[in-house]
Amino acid sequence: MTRLSLARPDDWHLHLRDGAMMGAVLPHSAAVFGRGLIMPNLVPPVVTAADAAAYRDRILAELGPGARFTPLMTLYLTEATDLADVAVAAASGLVKAVKLYPAGATTNSHAGVRDFDRIAPVLERMAELDLPLCVHGEVTDPAVDIFDREAVFIERILEPLRRRHEGLRVVMEHVTTSDGVAYVRHGGPRIAATITAHHLIINRNHILAGGIRPHYYCLPVAKRETHRRALVDAATSGEASFFLGTDSAPHADGAKISACGCAGCFTAPNAIECVAAVFEAEGRLDALEAFISLNGAAFYGMAANPDRIELERVEIAQPLPGPVMVGGDAVSVFDPGFALHWRIVNKGVDL
């Protein structure tokens, strides 16, 4: 198969940042994806319906007229989140999910949740509104090994939370373990998971063996190979509960190549090409459209994008996209570590 025509994909987990960084990275997502679920971990975070509307306006202004990319907004859940405001956000139609960051779990999560009992009323309201909860599923207990934090989160936080709020729909964001895959697979129709391009490709050896590679450090951190295999099997299975959320998370190279480097992989410019390579290697290109274009939309109760993209397999290895420049800073693009032979023929906008 050398050419694929697919419904335009969506990115169900995307960090666009703000200001100059947003200006630099947004065109890469808008060129390929029809919609992106925009993460709210700005500084300060996107907490209220008004914050989300203002952020959306800044994104639309940056996109300019004629763009066909639609930003779908999220709210950053805090212990002080106002129930009525969440209802307003849901009713506006602009906000499609609420994001739960355990305080301290990841980049810009200090305003997140410490005491999970305190968010019970909001979760109750969200279940009534059928507004999904997206979770960064890691515990922050320093006694828990960082490679175990997702599995422990499921047991200590997620399962009790879902028992308490049975009507709530939940997305385990950027799932990284076989535990997470199994939990979602057997969790019924109200739970789903996003899987990133990079977690389909790297395991923890890629980060640490033969020298430390800060550009492969993201959270949740990539796990051992058996877990990566579980993610590949889930993504390529075609099962409705697994779909692409790139978690494209740009940081300037200087912030990553540092004594205390930031977590995040910047994959917006080549995520689809990377995912296509993974599906091809598995002999599952037939399941690619479900993963990148259909399953996520269905979970969020939306139709698939009406327009299409074409992916072409080319003999010549495609060069790794160069870094995106933000002022004087470079933001390096995720390097899958192997040659990419897939190319998107008709993107939505020119870069």
Q: Would the annotation count 199 as a binding residue?
A: no
Helices (H), 12-48: 19-30
- Closest CB to ligand NCD among residues 36, 264: 264
Residue 25 within binding range of ligand NCD, rule CB under 6 A: no
Contacts of 251-256 with C-beta under 8 Å, sequence gap 24+, read 251/107, 251/331, 252/326, 252/329, 252/330, 252/331, 253/323, 253/329, 253/330, 253/331, 253/332, 254/329, 256/214, 256/215, 256/217, 256/332
Residue 41 within binding range of ligand NCD, rule CB under 6 A: yes
Residue 249 within binding range of ligand NCD, rule CB under 6 A: yes
- Closest CB to ligand NCD among residues 258, 346: 258
Question: Contact region for Zn ion (CB under 5 A) — 114-122, 244-252, 270-278, 283-291?
Answer: 244-252
**Is 181 within 8 Å of 231 (Cβ atoms)?**
yes
Among 136, 190, 199, 227, binds ligand NCD (CB under 6 A): 136
Residue 150 within binding range of Zn ion, rule CB under 5 A: no
Mask 65-104, x = binds ligand NCD (CB under 6 A)?
----------------------------------------
Q: Bridge partners of 35?
A: 10, 70
- Closest CB to ligand NCD among residues 240, 263: 263
Residue 215 within binding range of Zn ion, rule CB under 5 A: no
Told to judge if 247 belongs to the known catalytic residues of this protein, a careful annotator would answer yes
Q: Would the annotation count 219 as a binding residue?
A: yes
The C-alpha atoms of residue 171 and residue 193 are separated, in whole angstroms, by 5
Which runs of E-coded beta strand occur in 109-228? 133-135, 170-172, 191-195
Catalytic-role residue among 10, 11, 179, 247: 247
Q: Would the annotation count 203 as a binding residue?
A: no
Q: Would the annotation count 136 as a binding residue?
A: yes
In Å, what is the CA distance from 54 to each residue of 51, 97, 247? 5, 16, 22
Residue 107 within binding range of ligand NCD, rule CB under 6 A: yes
- Closest CB to ligand NCD among residues 51, 289: 51
Q: Would the annotation count 100 as a binding residue?
A: no
- Closest CB to ligand NCD among residues 207, 298: 207
**Is 48 within 8 Å of 85 (Cβ atoms)?**
yes
The C-alpha atoms of residue 204 and residue 280 are separated, in whole angstroms, by 23
Region of 229 on the Ramachandran plot (φ > 0 left; ψ -120 to 50 alpha; else beta): alpha
The C-alpha atoms of residue 178 and residue 182 are separated, in whole angstroms, by 6
Hey, which residues between 120 and 139 contact Zn ion (CB under 5 A)? 136
Q: How many residues of this chain interact with ligand NCD, rule: CB under 6 A?
A: 11
Residues of this chain that interact with ligand NCD (CB under 6 A) are 15, 41, 106-107, 136, 218-219, 247, 249, 263-264
Residues of this chain that interact with Zn ion (CB under 5 A) are 106, 136, 247
